[in-house]
Amino acid sequence: MDPHEVLRQYFGHRSFREGQETLISQLLTGRDVLGIMPTGAGKSICYQVPALVMDGITLVVSPLISLMKDQVGALIRSGVRAAYINSSLTSAQNAEALRRAARGLYKIIYVAPERLLTGAFLSFASAARIAMVTVDEAHCVSQWGQDFRPSYLNIPEFLEALPARPVVGAFTATATDEVKTDIVRLLRLRDPYSITTGFDRGNLYFEVRRPREKSRELVAYLQTHGSRSGVIYCLTRKTVEAVCETLTANGFPATRYHAGLDEAERRRNQDDFLYDRKPIMVATNAFGMGIDKSNVSFVVHYNMPKNIESYYQEAGRAGRDGEPADCVLFYSPQDVRTNQFLIDNGAEANDKLPSEAREDVRDKDRERLKQMTWYCTTTDCLRAYILRYFGERTRDFCGHCGNCHTHFETVDIHAQAVCILAAVERLALQGRRVGRILLAETLHGGRSERLLRLGLDRVPDYGLLASVSAADIRRAVELLIDTGLLAVTGDEYPVVVPVGPAASLAVPTPLLLKRPKGKREEKKAATAAAPEDPALFEALKAVRAELARTEKVPAFLIFSNATLRDMCRRLPTTPETFLQISGVGQAKAARYAAAFMAAIQIHLAGAASGGNAPGPVRP
C-alpha cells in the first residue's frame, strides 16, 4: 500500500499538507528526518503513514500520557492497531501490552521515554522487528528547549541496544536554531533530512493586555467568549484555584488542573474538559502540551509564561481545527518577578542534573525569560516578534494581532526622559524610593491618598509633567528601564532607582517611543465562517454528540467540525459519497456513515417539504 492510499483509507484525506509527503518519502527510503512543524500542521501523519507502509513496528517516544491516550484512541477508530505503554497503566496492564506487542498485534506503540531502558521493554524491542522510532516533542532532549527532560537523553542508548538500528524521525512544533542543532547531536541522527514548514498559524489572533484587575478583565472577556471551549493558563496552583473559583462564582462552566490535585481528580477534570461538560479549563503548565482537543477557540495566559517556546506551544492549543481562535496574554511586571523567583530557587531546574548543569539551565531560562518579557512590552507586531524569534523572516505588519489593531504614533520623549531621570535622582538624594505607578502619579500631579500620605505632593518635581498623562509617563519609565537608564530593585515592593550619577545627561537624542493613538476598539470574538447550512450543521453535531456519549469518547475523536462542515457542503447520502468527505476513512465510514447520512436525508426531506419532516433520528 502506498502513502497516498494509506492517507485516504485510514485518515480520509485526499492530499498531503506542506512538508508531509517529503518527510514520509525520506523515512521510507531509510533516512532519518527532523521535522519542525507548527501545532495543527499534521506532524503525526508524517510518522503514522510510513508506519503503516513499513514492515514492522513503529515506536513513538512521547512524554505525554494524555497525548498517547488521545492519539491511540483516534488511530483505533481509524482502523489502526495501536497501543501505549506508560505509567497510567498498572504493571500487569503494561506486561499484557508487551505480550500482545510481541505477538505482532500492534503496528504503532506509544511509549514514555522512561520505559525505554527497562528490562521488560528492552527484551521486547530486541526480539521484535522495530522498523522506525519516532521522537515526538523532540525539543525535550535539549537543555535549550523549554521542556528539557533528561530521560530523552536515553534514546540513543536504547537505539544502540537494538540488534539493528531503525530509521529515526524527530518532530517538534517549536525549536530555535540552537535547539535544532541539539536535537540532531543528542539524538545522534544520521545525515537527517531537515525541514521547517514555517511557524506561522494564520488563524490565531495574538494580543497582550495590561489589565489593572486581571480577574475583572477575564470575566469581561469570557462574557463574549465563555460559550466556547478554552484554556486559561496560570503560573501557580494558588492562582489556578483563585481564578477557577472566580469563574464558577460568575456562572462559567470551568474546571481546574494542576499537579497538587490527586490523580483521580486531574483525570476527572480533564475528561470534563475533553467531553465539553466543562469547556473552560484553568490550569498550570502541568496541563500538558499534548492535549489534542480540536475545538479550543481561545487560550488566555493569566500570567506571563517563562519563555516564548512555552507560550507559543501553549497558545497553539487553540485553533487546532483551523478555525479562528484567540491567544490573549494578561501581562504585569509581577509575572516577571514570579518567574525569576521560580528560576532562581530551583523550581525550573532538574535535580538529576549535576550542579554546574543545573546552573547552566538557569542561565538559559533567565535569557529566555528576558525574551518573553520583551514580547509582552513591545509595540511592534506580535506575530512578527514570535516568528523572528524562531528565525523566520516575515513582514513587520500582520494585521491580525492586538498591536497591529492598535493605532500607534511614534514620539520623541527625550525631554520627558530627562525630567523623569532627574526626578528619580533627586528623590534618591532625599532617601525616597517609589515604584513605577507612584513615580508617574507624582510627575503628573496626581492626588491619590497614598501619594498625599507620603508627602510626594510637596517634592520639587510634583506636577513637573502635568501636561502628560500618567499612562504615558509610565510608558516612558518602562522604556527607560528597558534601555538601562533606570533600574528596578526590590522583590516584594519593587522601586525605581537611578543606575548611576547624572544618568539624565546620558539620554540619547532622539529617544523614540511608540504609544497608542486614540482608543482601541474591542476586538470581536473569534468566529468561524458560518456553515453553508447552519441547521444541518447543528443536526450533525447532535448526532456526533450522541455517538460520543454512547462510545464514551470526546466528540472530536468522532469527527472534527471541519469534517461536519464538509458534510454540509457535499450532502453525502450513499456510502461512496460519504467516503469523499475530508477526514472520513474506511473504518470511520463503516462505523458512522449510517447515522450521519440518516440525519442528512431527514434534513433534505424537511427542506423539500417546507420544513415539516420529523426530527433527526438517534444513531
Q: Do domains 408-516 and 534-608 have the same CATH topology?
A: no
Strands (E), 96-150: 108-111, 130-135
- Phi, psi angles (nearest 5°) of residue 610: 85, 20
Mean pLDDT by 10 residues, the chain (619 residues): 92 90 96 88 91 96 82 90 89 91 93 92 94 94 76 94 96 85 95 88 92 94 85 94 96 93 89 90 77 84 92 88 90 91 67 68 87 91 90 79 80 90 90 90 92 92 91 88 83 79 74 68 51 84 91 87 90 94 93 95 80 49
Angstrom CA distances, 493 to 9, 398, 437, 462, stand at 62, 38, 12, 22
Q: How far apart are CA 45 and CA 104, in angstroms?
A: 22
Tell me the residue type at 240: V
Q: In sequence order, which residues have a C-beta less than 8 Å from that of residue 567 and are 6 or more positions away?
A: 536, 540, 581, 596, 600
- Residue spans of the domains in the chain: they are 3-196, 204-404, 408-516, 534-608
Quick one: CATH architecture of 204-404? 3-Layer(aba) Sandwich (3.40)
Nearest to 59 by CA among 194, 153, 174, 167: 167
pLDDT of residue 423: 92
Nearest to 308 by CA among 193, 189, 379, 391: 391
pLDDT of residue 347: 46
CATH number assigned to the domain covering 408-516: 1.10.10.10
pLDDT of residue 609: 67
pLDDT of residue 168: 97
Contact 143, 152 (CB under 8 A): no
**Residues 433-456, buried b or exposed e (16+ Cβ, 10 A)?**
bbbbbbbbbbbbbbeeeebeeeeb
Q: How far apart are CA 116 and CA 121, in angstroms?
A: 6
Q: In sequence order, which residues have a C-beta less than 8 Å from that of residue 266 and are 6 or more positions away?
A: 257
Tell me the residue type at 315: A
Contact 583, 566 (CB under 8 A): yes
Neighbours of 288 (CB within 10 A): 18
pLDDT of residue 519: 46
Grid look-up 532622539 returns 510
- Predicted confidence (pLDDT) per residue in 482-514, tens digit: 788 888 887 667 888 888 766 667 788 888 887
Nearest to 324 by CA among 407, 198, 230, 222: 230
Q: How far apart are CA 132 and CA 155, in angstroms?
A: 13
DSSP state of 401: B
pLDDT of residue 326: 95
Q: How far apart are CA 130 and CA 165, in angstroms?
A: 8
Q: What is the pTM of this model?
A: 0.68
Instruction: Identify the helix (H) or strand (E) that includes residue 273.
Output: helix 263-274
pLDDT of residue 71: 87
Quick one: CATH architecture of 3-196? 3-Layer(aba) Sandwich (3.40)
Question: Taken in order 555, 559, 563, 568, is the CA torsion positive or negative?
Answer: negative
- Written as nine digits, the cell of 107 is 503496528
- Written as nine digits, the cell of 215 is 480577574
pLDDT of residue 491: 60
- Written as nine digits, the cell of 111 is 511509549
Task: Give percent helix, percent strand, percent coil of the chain, each to the nearest 5.
Answer: 45, 15, 40
**Residues 174-190, buried b or exposed e (16+ Cβ, 10 A)?**
bbbeebbebbbebbebe
Q: How far apart are CA 586 and CA 576, in angstroms?
A: 10
CATH number assigned to the domain covering 534-608: 1.10.150.80
- Predicted confidence (pLDDT) per residue in 56-88, tens digit: 999 999 987 777 888 898 899 899 999 999 888
Q: How far apart are CA 397 and CA 380, in angstroms?
A: 8
Q: How far apart are CA 38 and CA 490, in angstroms?
A: 39
Q: What residues does 111 pair with on adjacent strands? A: 61, 85
- Written as nine digits, the cell of 196 is 521547517
| DSSP per-residue codes, 115-175 | GTTSHHHHHHHHHS-EEEEEESSGGGG-TTSTT--GGGGGHHHHHHHSSSPPEEEEEES--
pLDDT of residue 353: 61
Q: How far apart are CA 429 and CA 424, in angstroms?
A: 9
pLDDT of residue 591: 93
